Amino acid sequence: MERLCVFCGSCPGYNKAYRLAAEKLGAALCARDIASVYGGSKLGPMGSVAQEVLNNGGRAIGVIPKVPLEREQALDAR
């Protein structure tokens, strides 16, 4: 498998367990050389997965339409 699409919340919420689980998933993807394809936000568990992939030298591919881009905070994964 080369890529895995991760679709989860872009709201941080109040439960730290979700963020920690998202970070573990990001690290696991990177350890297996699997790119993360996600909704493009830097917020919430979705952003945590992508950021952890990037922190570990992996590849995160954000896909976000223009309208949500104006409301969301996109992660700059360049």
- Show me where the domains of the chain are located: 3-71
Q: What pTM value is reported for the model?
A: 0.79
Question: Taking a C-beta distance cutoff of 8 angstroms, is the pair 43, 11 a contact?
Answer: yes
Q: CATH number of the domain at 3-71, please?
A: 3.40.50.450
Picking from 29, 32, 31, 33, the residue whose alpha carbon sits closest to that of residue 46 is 29
Q: How confident is the model at residue 36 (pLDDT cuts 50, 70, 90)?
A: very high
Residue range 1-21: average pLDDT?
87
Q: How confident is the model at residue 74 (pLDDT cuts 50, 70, 90)?
A: low
Residue range 35-58: average pLDDT?
91
Question: Taking a C-beta distance cutoff of 8 angstroms, is the pair 59, 28 a contact?
Answer: no
Query: What DSSP state is assigned to residue 33?
Result: T
